[in-house]
Amino acid sequence: MRNILAKGGVEFLAVFLGIALSLWVDDVNKEKELEKQKLEVYNLLKKQTDELLLYTKSKLIEYERQADTFKNLIDNWESFNPDTVKDKKEFVSDIFFVLGNAYYPDFTTYETLMNSGEINLVDFNTIKMFGRLYKLMDDYKATHNKEISWRDFIEDRLLSNYSKHFKNYGLPWDILEFFQIAKNDDTIYAYLKSLYAIKKNTRSRVLVIEQSLTDIRDHLSNMH
């Protein structure tokens, strides 16, 4: 009888240890899978941040050129001659294509991770840093909306005050000819000068965004 009980105890212990070992292995596998998923999320965010930095640097170069274009036009307003412009298409684009010149970073990866809930796999500081980045984007958008409004005002003023000249010229590519016609219009000059100030302000805001992205990249590099 004792042998039967002893044998039963050993069998029970073996079953118990087998179950415990199986649960432990399962937990280890789940932990490994979780770490794998976490690493994938960090890698995706790092890849997106690197791409955003490249895009941001290219936009900063554009904004510097566009600010120089504005300065050239404003400083030479009285004597400005469209015929002296070497690359008219680029010149017009720099000062009048507000939507085309806008800063449009692609946050698809981050937003996809947010929607799937996978963003919760990363550390809290990463989430906070992206939150601050989005706040900086809100500040940029407010400046950009003002730029659109002032640019549209100039177009509306040309349409209402200089409508007869549309027989010979059209927008946007003849905007320099319209400026030459309207060189005595102090209101247009004032709005152009304000647009120049906004362009410089836009570059400053994007510089801050670049620094934020750099901080995020450095933080992500240290996390895996």
HEC string for the chain: CHHHHHHHHHHHHHHHHHHHHHHHHHHHHHHHHHHHHHHHHHHHHHHHHHHHHHHHHHHHHHHHHHHHHHHHHHHCCCCCCHHHCCCHHHHHHHHHCCCCCCCCCCCHHHHHHHHHCHHHHCCHHHHHHHHHHHHHHHHHHHHHHHHHHHHHHHHHHHHHHCHHHHHCCCCCCCHHHHHHHCCCCHHHHHHHHHHHHHHHHHHHHHHHHHHHHHHHHHHHHHHC
What value does the mean pLDDT take over residues 23-39? 67
Give dist(CA 58, CA 101) in Å, integer.
11
Residue 36 in this model has a pLDDT that exceeds 70:
yes
pLDDT number for residue 223: 78
pLDDT at 29: 57
Can you give the pLDDT at residue 35?
80
pLDDT (0 to 100) of residue 60: 98
Taking the model in full, what pTM does it have? 0.84
* C-alpha–C-alpha distance, residues 77 and 82, integer Å: 11
Window from 32-36, 82-86, 209-213 with minimum mean pLDDT: 32-36
Q: Distance between CA 76 and CA 88 in Å, rounded?
A: 16
Q: Phi and psi for 177 in degrees, rounded to 5?
A: -65, -40
**What mean pLDDT value characterizes the chain?**
89
In 3D, which of 72, 63, 155, 131 has the Cα closest to residue 103? 63
Q: How many CA atoms lie within 13 A of 59 on its CB side?
A: 23
Q: What is the pLDDT of residues 195-216, one digit of tens each?
A: 999 999 999 999 999 999 999 9
Confidence of residue 222 (pLDDT cuts 50, 70, 90): confident
pLDDT of residue 146: 96
Residue 77 neighbours by CB under 8 Å, 6+ apart: 179, 183, 189, 192
The amino acid at 127: I
Least confident of 5-9, 29-33, 108-112: 5-9
pLDDT at position 28, please?
A: 56
CA angle, residues 6, 11, 17, in degrees to nearest 5: 125
Q: What is the mean pLDDT of residues 165-187?
A: 96
What type of residue is 11?
E
Burial class (CB in 10 A: 0-12, 13-18, 19+), 15: exposed
